[in-house]
Amino acid sequence: MQVSNKLTPFFENLNFERDDNRMVINFGPQHPSAHGQLRLVLELDGEQVMKAYPDIGYLHRGIEKMAENMTYNEFLPTTDRLDYIASTSNNYAYALAVEKLLDIEAPRRAQAIRTMLLELNRIISHLFFVATHALDVGAMSVFLYAFREREFAMDLMEDYCGARLTHSAVRIGGVPLDLPAGWLENAAIFCDKIDHEVEHTYGALLNENRIWKMRLEDVGVISAEDALSWGCSGVMLRGSNVKWDIRKEEPYELYGELDFDIPTSDRCDSYGRFRMYMEEMKQSTRMIRQLIPLYKETKPQLMAHSPQYISAPKEEIMTQNYALMQHFVLVTQGMRPPKGEVYVATESPKGELGFYIKSEGEPYAYRLKCRAPSFFHTGLLQKLLVGVYLADVVTIIGTTNIVFGEVDR
Amino acid sequence: MRKYVPKDNVQKKAYYTDRFHVVPSVPRSKVEEGSHFADVMKTMGANVKESYIEIGQLVIHIAPEDNFKVMKMLKETCGYTQCSEQSAVDYLAKDNEFELFWQLLNITVAKRIRVVCRLANGAAIESIEPLYKSANFAEREMFDMFGIKVNNHPFLKRILMPDDWEGHPLLKTYPLHGDEFASWYEVDKIFGKEYRDIIGPENRDPGKIDIKDTKRFSRIGYEVPFAAEYNENEEVPVEYSETALVNYNKKTSIQLDERR
Amino acid sequence: MMASGASRYDFDRMGTIFRASPRQADVMILAGTLSKKHAEFARRLYDQMTEPKWVISMGSCANTGGMFNTYATVQGVDRIIPVDIYLPGCAPRPETLQYAMMMLQKKIRRESADMKNNTKQDLTTQTGRKARLI
């Protein structure tokens, strides 16, 4: 075993100074194109990767441990920090898991707002993907354009919940606020803008760009069987021509009533996945447009009525004694869900985001496991990177669209 | 006398529970005849100890030594081609056992199964990595967080915590704020043990304010040089409403009038 | 941090350009939670930077550990690296980062050029020496 000191880092099975032609390089944990704290140990033969070893955990904060020491409502803002590019999808996945456990359903207006926010977050996340992926591969201008549109989406989120990144916009049992005046009109304008930009800016810059295609085509090829076996989900799975989208197959919220397509690609490579991200943005705008009339038909109730678990609306708390008492108990002690376990999967922008909750009837979850899609996509890297050239490594990391808040938790 | 705290579960507990509080359970239903799950149950046969449907998903309890066999049947016969999640729950305090679960997904019929088994403390489980490659990382995480050993895993090593970490964080005996080793880990690693005194212990109390401490954020309202000496006679230039009793209502109304 | 470098907030107009190597950098921005596993590497990056160097701790998690009061996070990066500017917020807005950069520029103007009376080097003189000797 190597003796660890400041100059030769401890790493078993790997020897950085070697006698043969091979070379071991250390990629990260602060590499600018590693999308956060990914450390890759690559064994190279010339320019070709012979062995890849992703080393994660550099952003491990013990979120699952925190969940065991927090009441259910306290934990909700912590889920923001999982996939911090699209926070609402985490909040939602967690809230849905607890709602399934409590057997309550959010009112229809809350469902409409949630679905709209989820799709808006999907656009934010996909724009971020296009921007950073292009930046990694070498197309700087796309980064600037995509961030320009992302700021509009951020402003919409800020209008709704007041935060840019960490939204906490979904609560257990509903949403805290109604949409502010003029939000729907702005959202409609934003949808038109995104459709136009996806087609005429990013699409025009990248889709048929010769350099872009040369760098992405046939890079990071995953077969359908591999994708399933390695636990891929979301775009990574659909990019391998497996038509599986949780929004369609196990519909939650209003997705069952919406008309949208699921893009798949039989190319199985990075370029196919990039085209699917672009297509998914268009589908998201299509969904938001359908949701605007649906929202207008709903009644104004925002939180589910379930006095055992959910506090009453503020007006009732301020006027009615019993509601105030319930609120006091729920805030000081926390809700006590029934004994049991639940696993709920949702389709986050990155893939299948699921929460497993084991409840023992206490106000604190006995065990909470967050099934993060990026975690399994990072695991796939050790297969995907073998045999590619060093220059393609960055492209492949970019195409998996991993976020380290979620990988390490 | 110090209050007795049980050592086997140091996680946060409810400070008050009603004496008459009865914990309800999530309803569990039997597997219906003719459904997809009934076919699965038929294929499984005697391997299943207990089975029920909980919130739309079939839960089957198996013996820990059967796990590879059962997974293989589920994958090859029943079409459960993806293992989307796998981890453990700590029941050491109660039963001296871990509860392991695998969350499987069949994408052709859109159904999910949870396979559950109880593993005694210190026993090892067979790896399902040859069947589902996603178990590669998931089992390593389980080993890291609980210390559950996995047989025939290609590379069983800590994944989220550093290699030289002591303890398994998700055990119920492990405190949230970490043990002695965890609290000095980065100091020992970077500077060495002899620098513990200079750097000092971690502040785990978010509400702590120490007026003499100039290394943290204690002197609100004015800037002092980092680690400056504390002077008893120094004046605080900024006054807050609590000390000076400014009538903000009056002030704001005047400002509002001016703006109008 | 990405957004502050991008089109709307445009960091370049303040004379701030992101560099990929610590050897070319003057300022290190510690953005986000510093876990115990990462602490050693962050300190090594700081040691790799050439003098003069400044550090901005961005966000509550980097300042004090923030909401992540757990076994795996360093409770404030100033335990291992001397920090010049602390940014509040979780996550701080791009404007906050820009303002911090302006504050840092102000602070640098105020400092003497010979760095002898620079009080922020306190932790380095006490603890950094050992790290350099090895």
Q: Which two tokens stand for residue C117?
A: 């009376």
For residue B191, list chain C residues with Cβ-Cβ distance below 8 A: 80, 127, 130-131
Q: Among A97, A92, A255, A254, which residue's Cα sits nearest to residue A174?
A: A92
pLDDT (tens digit per residue) in A337-396: 999 999 999 999 988 999 999 998 888 999 999 999 999 999 888 888 888 888 888 888
> C-side interface with A, Cβ within 8 Å?
2-3, 6-8, 18, 20, 32-33, 35, 37-38, 41-42, 44-45, 67-68, 70-73, 90-91, 93, 131, 134
How does DSSP classify residue C24? G
Query: Cα–Cα distance between A25 and C18 in angstroms, integer?
Result: 24
- Helix and strand numbers, DSSP H then E, in chain C: 6, 3
Instruction: Kindly give, in sequence order, each residue whose CB lies less than 8 Å from that of residue B16, ignoring residues fewer than 6 positions away.
Output: A333
Superfamily of domain B10-151: NADH:ubiquinone oxidoreductase Nqo5 subunit (3.30.460.80)
Confidence of residue A112 (pLDDT cuts 50, 70, 90): very high
Mean pLDDT for the stretch of residues B165-191: 87
Q: Which string of b and e fits A302-338 if b means at least 16 CB within 10 Å? A: bbbebeebbbbeeeebeeeeebeebbebbeeebbbbb
Per-residue pLDDT, averaged over B3-13, amounts to 79
Q: How far apart are CA B168 and CA B141, in angstroms?
A: 10
The shortest CB-CB distance from C73 to any of A29, A61, A143 is to: A61
Instruction: Return the closest-CA partner of residue C52 out of C28, C36, C17, C80.
Output: C28
What confidence score (pLDDT) does residue A123 get? 92
Tens of pLDDT, residue by residue over A177-233, are 888 988 999 999 999 999 998 888 888 888 888 888 888 888 888 888 888 888 888
pLDDT recorded at residue C121: 46
The residue whose two tokens read 């999640």 is B85
A5·C134 Cβ contact <8 A = yes
User: How many Å lie between the alpha carbon of C40 and the closest alpha carbon of chain A?
Assistant: 9
Read off the amino acid at residue A105: E
Q: What is the mean pLDDT of chain C?
A: 77
Q: How would you classify the pairing of strands A340-348 and B149-151?
A: unpaired
- The SS3 assignment for A58 reads coil
Domain limits, chain B? 10-151, 175-208, 209-260
- Which residues of chain A have a CB within 8 Å of the CB of C42? 30
DSSP, collapsed to helix, strand or coil, labels residue A143 as helix
Question: B140 to each of A139, B86, B151, B174, C76, how far by Cα in Å?
Answer: 37, 10, 11, 19, 29
Of the residues B13, B25, B26, B102, the best mutation for testing chain A's interface (the one with the most A CB atoms within 10 Å of its CB) is B26
Contact state of C70 with A65 under an 8 Å Cβ cutoff: yes
The predicted model gives A57-61 an average pLDDT of 88
- Closest to B191 (Cβ–Cβ): which among C64, C69, C131? C131
- Nearest residue of chain C to residue B223 (CA atoms): C85
CA distance B234 to B211: 11
Can you tell me the mean pLDDT for A69-82?
Answer: 90
C-alpha A409/C-alpha B160 separation (Å) is 9
Q: How confident is the model at residue A21 (pLDDT cuts 50, 70, 90)?
A: confident
- Say which of C71, C72, C80 has its CB closest to residue B190: C80
Q: Between chains, do B216 and C76 touch, taking CB under 8 Å as contact?
A: yes
Per-residue pLDDT band for C132 (boundaries 50, 70, 90) equals very low
Tell me how far apart the alpha carbons of residues A51 and B103 are, in angstroms, rounded to a whole number. 29
Taking residue C101's Cβ as centre, other Cβ atoms within 10 Å add up to 19
DSSP, collapsed to helix, strand or coil, labels residue B225 as coil
Query: How far is residue B14's CA from residue A69's CA, in Å, rounded to a whole number?
Result: 10
- What is the pLDDT confidence band of residue A93, given thresholds at 50, 70 and 90? very high
pLDDT in the model for residue C131: 37
Mean pLDDT, rounded, for B109-134: 89
Number of Cβ pairs closer than 8 Å across A and B? 137
Closest residue by Cα to residue A253 from A116, A373, A371: A116
**Region A47-76: what's the mean pLDDT?**
88
> What is the distance between the alpha carbons of residues B213 and B209, in angstroms, rounded to a whole number?
8
- For residue C71, list chain A residues with Cβ-Cβ distance below 8 A: 62, 65
Partner-chain contact C122 B182, CB within 8 Å? no
Mean pLDDT, rounded, for B145-154: 89
Q: What domains appear along chain A, each with residue ranges and CATH number?
A: 1-60+372-409 (3.30.390), 63-371 (1.10.645.10)
Chain A residue whose CA is closest to C71: A62
Q: What's the one-letter identity of residue C92? A: P
Query: Within 10 A of A214 (CB to CB), how many other CB atoms are there?
Result: 11
- Whether the Cβ atoms of residue C5 and residue C18 lie closer than 8 Å to each other: yes
pLDDT band at B234 (very low <50, low <70, confident <90, very high): low
Parallel, antiparallel, or unpaired for β B50-54 and B28-29?
antiparallel
Q: Give the pLDDT of residue A312.
A: 86
Closest by alpha carbon to B101, among A202, A342, A183, A194?
Answer: A342
| Residue numbers in C near B160 (CB within 8 A) | 37
Residue A107 CA to its chain's centroid (Å): 24
Touching B (3+ Cβ pairs <8 A), the chains are A, C
**Mean pLDDT rounded to a whole number for chain B:** 81
Contact C37 A57 (CB under 8 A): yes
Write down the pLDDT at residue C112. 63
Q: Which of A156, A164, A176, A187 is nearest to A80 (CA)?
A: A164
CB–CB of C91 and A166 under 8 A?
Answer: yes
pLDDT tens by residue, C101-131: 888 888 787 766 655 555 444 444 444 433 3
Asked if residues A372 and A82 have their Cβ atoms less than 8 Å apart, the reply is: yes
